């Protein structure tokens, strides 16, 4: 297997792992809602505050169908994955400077990405973290791809910055000048297979969030319609 093919397969398998974790959380939450509502229906006598039983049953059915749909989509997503020797795919975490890694990713995007996109960077030197460079590059590409999709006619500005906050934690921010999201969309933005765009899988933010969580980081999103979107990633630096 060629090096490029191996890297692509490793990346896809990593993405699958992170996406599976997101789907797992979604399905667990769905089952919790199903059990909670079913327990309410079992109460005898029912408390005066019990919602309409028909509405509870409708919630149970809808939640179960949504969870099964997400599970089926995960199965579909796995089908193109090619098996490889796990010994070839194994690699240890390394010390990574996020500002340098981000600079490398932006350099590639400037040379091969959308010509109509203007890049602005403020990549200050930040303390290193322990992590997997391949996964973190994939995370940034997913976030950038999502920003591309948000730009009207694929034209606009994408800003990338690194800094440290008052706690000494590393902060990586990606901002786009795109359409932005309303509150209902923002709440579900990192949900696996959720997308407002026809023909899109809706896995980019979910995979990026999964990668960052496995690096012990937190991801938050701020957005308003017509005002663009800010994705903010924070992580504690590696302590020697």
Whether residue 18 is contained in a domain is answered as yes
Q: Tell me, yes or no, whether 212 and 169 share the same domain.
A: yes
Q: Give the residue ranges of DSSP H helices in 113-174.
A: 133-150
Q: What is the pLDDT of residue 159?
A: 97
Q: Tell me, yes or no, whether 222 and 157 share the same domain.
A: yes
Among 72, 88, 104, identify where a domain stops.
88
Whether residue 46 is contained in a domain is answered as yes
Q: pTM of the predicted model, to two decimals?
A: 0.65
Q: Tell me, yes or no, whether 221 and 113 share the same domain.
A: yes
The CATH number of the domain where 103 resides is what?
Answer: 3.30.565.10
Whether residue 75 is contained in a domain is answered as yes
- Is 18 in a helix, a strand, or coil? helix
Which residues of the chain are under the pLDDT cut of 70? 1-26, 28, 66, 68-92, 198-202, 240
Q: Tell me, yes or no, whether 12 and 113 share the same domain.
A: no
Structurally, the chain folds into a number of domains equal to 2
Rg value, the chain, Cα: 21
Q: Tell me, yes or no, whether 191 and 97 share the same domain.
A: yes
What would the pLDDT profile of 70-85 be if each residue is shown by its tens digit? Answer: 666 565 555 544 343 4
Q: CA 5 to CA 11: how far, in whole Å?
A: 10
Q: Tell me, yes or no, whether 95 and 195 share the same domain.
A: yes
Domain holding 19, by residue range, is: 3-88
Q: What is the pLDDT of residue 200?
A: 60
Whether residue 209 is contained in a domain is answered as yes
Q: Tell me, yes or no, whether 111 and 207 share the same domain.
A: yes
Whether residue 125 is contained in a domain is answered as yes
Whether residue 240 is contained in a domain is answered as no
What would the pLDDT profile of 99-131 be if each residue is shown by its tens digit? Answer: 999 999 999 888 887 789 999 999 999 999 999
Q: Tell me, yes or no, whether 63 and 115 share the same domain.
A: no
- Cβ burial of 205 (10 Å; 0-12, 13-18, 19+) is buried
Q: What is the pLDDT of residue 217?
A: 92
Q: Tell me, yes or no, whether 134 and 216 share the same domain.
A: yes
- Cβ burial of 63 (10 Å; 0-12, 13-18, 19+) is middle
Among 60, 88, 116, identify where a domain stops.
88
Among 65, 88, 111, identify where a domain stops.
88
């Amino acid at each position: 297997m060629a090096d490029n093919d191996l890297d692509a397969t490793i990346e896809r398998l990593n993405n699958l792992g992170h996406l599976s974790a997101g789907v797992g959380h979604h399905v667990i939450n769905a089952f919790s809602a199903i059990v909670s509502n079913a327990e309410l229906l079992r109460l005898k006598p029912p408390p005066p505050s019990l919602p309409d039983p028909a509405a509870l049953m409708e919630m149970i059915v809808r939640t179960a169908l949504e969870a099964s749909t997400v599970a089926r989509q995960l199965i579909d997503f796995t089908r193109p994955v090619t098996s490889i020797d796990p010994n070839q795919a194994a690699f240890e975490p390394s010390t990574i400077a996020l500002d340098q890694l981000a600079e490398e990713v932006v350099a590639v995007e400037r040379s091969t990405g959308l010509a109509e996109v203007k890049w602005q960077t403020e990549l200050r030197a930040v303390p290193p973290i322990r992590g997997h460079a391949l996964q973190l590059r994939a995370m940034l590409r997913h976030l950038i791809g999502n920003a591309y999709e948000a730009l009207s006619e694929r034209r606009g500005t994408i800003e990338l910055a690194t800094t440290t906050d008052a706690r000494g934690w590393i902060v990586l921010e990606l901002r786009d000048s795109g359409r932005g999201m309303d509150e209902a969309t923002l709440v579900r933005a990192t949900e696996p297979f959720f997308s407002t765009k026809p023909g899109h899988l809706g896995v980019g933010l979910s995979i990026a969030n999964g990668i960052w969580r496995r690096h012990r980081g937190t991801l938050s999103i701020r957005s308003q319609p017509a005002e663009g979107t800010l994705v903010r990633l924070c992580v504690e630096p590696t302590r020697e």
